[in-house]
Structure 1
Amino acid sequence: MLFENTQSTRLQQSDDAAVCLASMDIEHTVMRLSNVEIHQVHLSNLIEKSEFDDLYQAFGIVQADDVRQSHFSRKLDYFMGRLAARYALKKYNHAGFNVLKGAYGEPIFPEHIQGSISHVNDRQDYIAICAVQNILENQLYMGIDIELYKHQELLIHQAENIDVFLDQEEQLKIAILKLRHQDNIAIELVIFSAKESIIKAVFNKYKIITDFKSIHFQQFSVHELYFKVKKTPGDLHFFTVKVTYFQKHQQIITIACI
């Protein structure tokens, strides 16, 4: 597995945007995993709620209608995701492109470019990642997801959450895996994240919304997981998807390519 972590240059910004970035102390890094370039932005010192609309304006990022009417945490998640997309799109000469929301909440990237955005927060740290690439003939379609390692405990201690994204057969497989692996791998959280990545990749390729129960966990190994996936619950045919994952500090990031 190829993993590279480098500090990135800043976007070209207006004076107001540069002041906002400096005051917010946003860290931007570039990671490369399995030949996918992932841009991450991380905010640890939160701004005042009263300054938030000015932040969107300074960067020229358009809020979706439902985001504008949402709570502060959702607005900040959305901003961080779109800022990560700005960095990712710079390489493709689309640094000023506004990534809007589609009918199903999916990010709309420039024509001939596919991409994926994910964000996570614990009300102290706000993190977003974005990866984009050209749409080429025979190009695999991707989906990415990020989770905080600390959320593993929340996940496994609420049985109703487990039942939403794992069937009984999958839960049995995980129980056996946990007996075999004595290292501290958050298997449930990794699988949850992997399924989120697959859902995004399936939509990017087929424009179909699949669900957790149409994605069946099969195999777990170092940095890789394998799943059988149906496009829709009623589909009789499965296809196999490999998901790459890694843990960076206290984060888990997964990439699905189909």
Structure 2
Amino acid sequence: MDTLCSYPQDLTFTPQLPYAFYSCTFTNEHYTDSQFTTHKIDFPAKLNNAVTKRKAEFLAGRICAKHALQRIDIADVQILSGEDRAPIWPQEVKGSITHTQGIAIAMCSRDTGIKGLGIDVERFMGDEQEKKLQTQILHPEENSTFSSLSLTIANPLTLVFSAKESIYKALYPSVGKFFGFDAVKLINFTSRELSFVIVEPLSAQLPVGKQITVRYQLSKNLVFTECEYK
């Protein structure tokens, strides 16, 4: 398993946000526990009984985080997980990790002007899966905007799902509790950005009506989304 491949062949986009970024490919079939030692990443006890897929994803994500941190001159730091499974970044860092079916990505920044970062990569859902999950992912009031989006791109639900995942990751450190897909709704879009508005009060700094922008890119069968909270 060559988890140190910087930019896998099917990941043909580059991030729009100006922050440290690293990606790698990995395969579950070639994973071994010894690779944690090889890459100098602590093996967490909570993975003792985990399936191989989960272990490989965790390792690949931490490898990406390690290299992204090195790009902002932070070395020899272990990115542990909280009880909520969210990565625990160094105090002065905002960051995010994502993985899907053999691809892992991490992004991080020391920029004091941002309060949170969220990224997400997904492979396109099939048409039947999108139809099945639509009511779980969409807010009832965003159906009209979603219908317009579906006229411009294929697999629109995968994109909205990924965008809401990135929003969650970016806002969660400030909100401090779980919130669902219906806490935000899609209100506008361009060829590179989606605009959402908060429709449930999340915190004093994240009231109803606050708008959130998500940048996105589509490449082959992948969607990649990025969200920064300032």
Q: Which letter does structure 2 place at the counterpart of 1:67?
A: L
Report the CA distance shift for 1:213/1:129 in structure 2 as closer, same or farther (over 3 A): same
Q: In percent, how many aligned pairs have the same letter?
A: 22
Q: Which letter does structure 1 place at the counterpart of 2:129?
A: L
1:155 equivalent to 2:129? Answer yes
Unpaired runs of 5+ residues, structure 1, are 1-22
Q: Which letter does structure 2 place at the counterpart of 1:168?
A: P
- Deviation for aligned residue 1:45: 7.9
In the alignment, what sits opposite 1:67?
Answer: 47
Report the CA distance shift for 1:200/1:154 in structure 2 as closer, same or farther (over 3 A): farther
* The 10-residue stretch of structure 1 (37-46 or 84-93) with the greater mean CA deviation from structure 2: 37-46
Larger radius of gyration: 1
Q: CA–CA distance in 2 between the matches of 1:54 and 1:25?
A: 13
Instruction: Confirm or deny: 8 A CA contact 1:26 1:44 kept in the other structure.
Output: no
Q: Which letter does structure 2 place at the counterpart of 1:27?
A: C
SS in 2 for 1:216: strand
Task: Write out per-residue CA displacement over residues 142-194 of structure 1, whole angstroms, 9 at most, x where no aligned residue.
Answer: 21111013x24353142xx2222213332343224334x3xx43211111000
Instruction: Confirm or deny: 8 A CA contact 2:6 2:23 kept in the other structure.
Output: yes
In the alignment, what sits opposite 1:133?
Answer: 109
Aligned pair partner of 1:166 in 114, 128, 138: 138
* The 10-residue stretch of structure 1 (127-136 or 207-216) with the greater mean CA deviation from structure 2: 207-216
- Equivalences for 1:1-258 in 2 at 5 Å? 24=2, 26-29=4-7, 31-44=14-27, 46-47=29-30, 52-121=32-101, 126-136=102-112, 138-149=113-124, 151-153=125-127, 155-158=129-132, 161-179=133-151, 181=152, 184-229=153-198, 230-232=200-202, 237-258=208-229
Task: Write out per-residue CA displacement over residues 183-215 of structure 1, whole angstroms, 9 at most, x where no aligned residue.
Answer: x43211111000000001111334343221101
Report the CA distance shift for 1:219/1:57 in structure 2 as closer, same or farther (over 3 A): same
Q: When the two structures are superposed, what TM-score results if normalisation uses the length of structure 1?
A: 0.77
SS in 1 for 2:58: helix
- Deviation for aligned residue 1:62: 2.0
Instruction: Confirm or deny: 8 A CA contact 1:228 1:240 kept in the other structure.
Output: yes
- Deviation for aligned residue 1:98: 1.1
Report the CA distance shift for 1:88/1:98 in structure 2 as closer, same or farther (over 3 A): same
Q: Which letter does structure 1 place at the counterpart of 2:116?
A: Y
SS in 2 for 1:219: strand
Q: CA–CA distance in 2 between the matches of 1:93 and 1:241?
A: 29
- Deviation for aligned residue 1:97: 1.4
Q: Which letter does structure 2 place at the counterpart of 1:59?
A: H
Q: CA–CA distance in 1 between the matches of 2:211 and 2:50?
A: 37
Q: Which letter does structure 2 place at the counterpart of 1:178?
A: S
Task: Write out per-residue CA displacement over residues 24-50 of structure 1, whole angstroms, 9 at most, x where no aligned residue.
Answer: 3641139341323321111258315xx
Task: Give the structure with the higher percent strand.
Answer: 1
Task: Write out per-residue CA displacement over residues 110-153 of structure 1, whole angstroms, 9 at most, x where no aligned residue.
Answer: 121110000101xxxx11110000141x335221111013x243
Instruction: Confirm or deny: 8 A CA contact 1:217 1:228 kept in the other structure.
Output: yes
Instruction: Confirm or deny: 8 A CA contact 2:138 2:182 kept in the other structure.
Output: yes
Of structures 1 and 2, the one scoring higher in RCO (CA 8 A, sep 6+) is: 2
Report the CA distance shift for 1:154/1:32 in structure 2 as closer, same or farther (over 3 A): same
Q: CA–CA distance in 2 between the matches of 1:186 and 1:73?
A: 25
RMSD across aligned positions (CA)? 2.4
Q: Which letter does structure 1 place at the counterpart of 2:22?
A: H
